[in-house]
Amino acid sequence: MNVLTTVLQQYLSSCEKTQEAHENDKWRLRLHLMPPTGFMNDPNGLCWFKGLWHVFFQYAPSSPEGGLKYWGHYTSPDMLHWTYWGTPLIPDQPFDCHGEYSGSAIVKDDVLHVFCSGNLFLQGNPPRAFSVIHVTSKDGFHFSEKEVVISSEEYPQACSCQIRDPKVWKDGSEYRMVLGAQTINETGAVLIYHSADLDHWDFERMMVPGKDFGYMWECPDVFKINDSNYLSLSPQGIPSEEFRYANVFQSVWTNMRDEPNFTYTEWDKGFDFYAPQTFAAPDGRRILYGWMGMDALAGYSNPTIKYGWQHAQTLPRVITEKNGILYQIPVKEIEQLRMSSFSVEESAKLLLPCELALQNPDNSSFDLMLGTGLHFAFEQNDSVLRLYFTDETGSGRTERKAKVKGVKNVRLWIDTSSVEIFVNDGTVVFSTRFYPDSDKIELYVRADHPCAITGWNLKPITMERGQIYV
């Protein structure tokens, strides 16, 4: 352990001592993974290993508005009872001293292999460098020394210095890696590498779209469902349209068989979603986490900053495919949090967190108002879904829309400061933060024809603190 490691660990411990002062604030989430303090962003290193779900995440403990990035670490045996262990990856080497950026994990021969991007700012041109870092663990908690397996000098000359976020998977007898990239012409791209052993990597090719789609592609992911390989990515620089790409940065998926003429579908049309990552569960499910946040350039904010923290992860979502369409819905484990059920007609008083299920067999227009100003509405005449705010509970958020053929069902998970909405079995999703005055809010329902709405009060997940990385 070098001196910098010791200093950074001590600084982290000092920052996290403030957690106790924040645990009782009214907007601490009860269903979602959050930072102990400071700033949380991308989900990383998602995997099942040694009987536990592992969720690593980018983490800046020094400030709720961001800063030097570590990797934080949560584990759970069941996705309901979580333990926070601290920071296994600390920016303590010359090649990563300006932050541990996003990456992934894979299990080989009963050993966990973790890959991430080490960020280094430089004097001169290029102004920064990203290297691919590799560490291993036999137990999921204690990690080997860092090894650079792809240095910034090895990247193709056709790329700028913006190359990061390795996602690794097994493809037959080989392993493959994708990296988000930017070309020297400032267009988004993906670099593909292959390896026989996870230690030595060879460049395979650069994947670019037939038509420019953003100036940078972040957090790429390749995964297989049924017989198709899908590419997930987070492009930056996509012009906003009325019904698409409303956020400052996007997250989309596409079928790789369409390369290079990709057709992109947004993962989530809400205000707060970015940098998703998928992974394979031992039972064969494909599970996704996303960052329930957005860049500061979005034009809206989160009042949790005054309590010393900002952002969270989404609920874990199962991804399925039917007729070339990807569906997403929270994992079944979340249903174990259900307690008493209730029915809703025109109004109800909700105790957060809760879950609502709406059935709309007549495809009727409706408007659900949560609290004093969060609306989720469908107009049958123009087939438009709208998520919008009419008061300050959106903290600057305004409106997001989607064009749909109809709405047969809706499921909502409402936490103390977030809502995730899944329409038509999860073909369309909206995620947003919102900030009601208390955990008791009113639900008002307007519908052209009666909608059947069932609700459940939910127990919170548990979050404890372990003592590995101290």
CB-based contacts of 125, cutoff 8 Å, min separation 6: none
CB-based contacts of 403, cutoff 8 Å, min separation 6: 243, 383, 384, 385
Tell me which of 25, 42, 109, 212 is the catalytic residue: 42
Element (H, E) at 451: none
CA 389 vs. chain centroid, Å, equals: 23
- Is 96 an active-site residue? no
Q: What one-letter code names the amino acid at 319? A: I
Residue 257 to residue 62: CA distance in whole angstroms: 43
Six token digits for residue 191: 């670099």
303, 33 contact by CB (below 8 A): no
Residue 18 to residue 469: CA distance in whole angstroms: 18
CB 277: neighbour CB atoms within 10 A?
A: 27
Q: Is the dihedral of CA 341, 347, 349, 350 positive or negative?
A: positive
CA angle 234, 240, 243 (to 5 degrees): 100
CA angle 261, 262, 263 (to 5 degrees): 125
* Residue 434: φ, ψ to 5°: -150, 160
Six token digits for residue 173: 């007898």
Q: What is the DSSP letter of 345?
A: S
Give the C-alpha distances (Å, rounded to integers) separating 31 from 10, 101, 333, 386: 30, 25, 12, 24
Residue 86 to residue 12: CA distance in whole angstroms: 9
**Residues designated as active site:** 42
